[in-house]
Chains A and B, each alone.
Chain A
Amino acid sequence: MRGGVEGDFGRAAQQIGSAAVSAQLSLQVFADGRNTTAATDTALSDMLEEVDQAVSATADREVDTPDQGTLRAEVLQAANTVTGQIIRGRDIVAGVGEQTELTAVAAELGRAGTELLDLGDRLEAAG
């Protein structure tokens, strides 16, 4: 377990990235008609909580330098994108919105998740 501000932001980025990829997988199997509404909704709700936890930890973390402040803003911005997409996915699963959008939402979550996981790896290595 790496320490330091960068290490903490790295862990948060990985947590959010993992939640994003997990939400992507949930939406994909739902779009394929392979999972129930209740189980998918629960999975997305769980991933929203994961992102919330990581956001709280990141927002509460004090920074020592402007670069660290920029990093924090980057992680929080990415978390915001992921939260928005998960909520959009949840709405569609609940019947609000077009089912055809699910694939696009899942793809966006997958892209954001992969980027966050890469960022997390880089920051953890630097931490």
Chain B
Amino acid sequence: MKSLFAVALGILTAIGGFLDIGDLVTNAVVGARFGLSLAWVVPVGVLGICVFAQMSGRVAAVSGRATFEIIRERLGPRMAVANLCASFLINLLTLTAEVGGIALALQLASSVNPKLWIPVAALAVWLVIWRVKFSVMENVTGVVGLCLVMFAVAVFLLGPDWGQLADQVFTPSLSDGENLAAYWYYAIALFGAAMTPYEVFFFSSGAVEEKWTVRDLAKSRLNVLVGFPLGGILSVAIAALSAIVLMPGGVEVSSLSQVLIPVAEAGGKLAVAVIILGIVAATFGAALETALSGGYTLAQFLGWSWGKFRRPVEAARFHLTMLVLLIVAVGVLMTGVDPILVTEYSVVFSAIALPLTYLPVLIISNDPQYMGEHVNGPVVNAIGTVYLVIIVAASAAAIPLMIVTGAGQ
């Protein structure tokens, strides 16, 4: 019974923890502009993150060490430093977006200027990282994040023309005034939002924090393979709401407040309150994960003592790194930069950095020296290789498309 509860909690946490500010904003923007014609990207991204998250979790469970530690040892400092630079900067950008997201969600609840919420949000993130147990932190944000299921409920409450939505999904086409370059730019943004690099480093280091062993592999596989796809359904629901309510009026999504309009129309004030709670939990959880990922990658690269399973005084540089990252994020946001713009750039730059994150994971999970009999099987390797090709193509196309489309304009 206890293990059944643990599995259920893990799945619920994975669903609630799947969405972050990048998914929320990108799916709403895409739904309002392209309807559901880019919905196919979500399952592609979800399958990719399932394969690689499960791979890096397996590396941690079998070797007892986080992926980034092994990358440096196995592939040398040069490869590791390229990986570190890309991951660390994307992490910082994502953390900035998430802290901004918390502030924007709190503004929706209070009408108070987000600049007043930004330091409060960052302080709360730091306090939780410093004081709260890893499992409590992860489970609470994940389970409260389940409030975002209301997005899917809202789609049903609106009673849309299902045939029209299915038509958008299965026969994708461009609406008037849209061009192919913008379509592919947003396809890459959606892919980057689903496969954000921090998720892999967090998953792997989290496995070490929770002291996973080979016996936990089945449970972790179930969490990922059930939880993430269900989280992906919520992504599609957000795009569907925009497609149903905002797209017909020619509304372009440029703020988080617009994401709430279809929810309000469908479910009224209660639905709005539930969604705001879910957004706060999702962005807060993602801010915790990105801050921790920043600490993990730097500490693991430099060989510092790391982990929340240690007291802060025993991993002082690890905790200091996260504090500095949060201060930088607050500093950037206080310049007045639009958090939504930061989010849009963070998902595209994530896509650019993907090969540096995922190639090492694929190499290490095939190394019998670390993995023993638990190296990748032929099916996982085949899928992983196909994804590597997709990732490299997306990464190579991202910057040219960004220039050609004026960042999706």
Contact = CB atoms under 8 A, between A and B. Distances in A.
Interface of A: 1, 11, 14-15, 17-18, 21-22, 24-26, 29, 33-39, 41-43, 46-47, 49-50, 110, 113-114, 117, 121, 124
B158 interface: no
B245 A25 contact: yes
Nearest to B245: A25
B252 A1 contact: no
B260 A11 contact: no
Nearest to B409: A1
Nearest to B265: A29
Given A18-B252, A22-B246, A34 B264 contact: yes
Q: Is the interface on chain B under 10, 10 to 19, 20 to 34, or 35 or more residues?
A: 20 to 34
Contacts of B311: none
A41 B265 CA distance: 16
B258 A43 contact: yes
B268 A113 contact: no
A26 B251 contact: no
Nearest to A110: B249
Contacts of B276: 39
B255 to A, nearest CB: 4
For the residues of B in contact with A, the DSSP-based class is helix
Interface string B22-35: 00000000000000
Contacts of A117: 250
A21 B108 contact: no
A38 B272 CA distance: 11
Contacts of B110: 38
Nearest to A28: B265
Contacts of B179: 1
Contacts of B246: 22, 25
B105 to A, nearest CB: 10
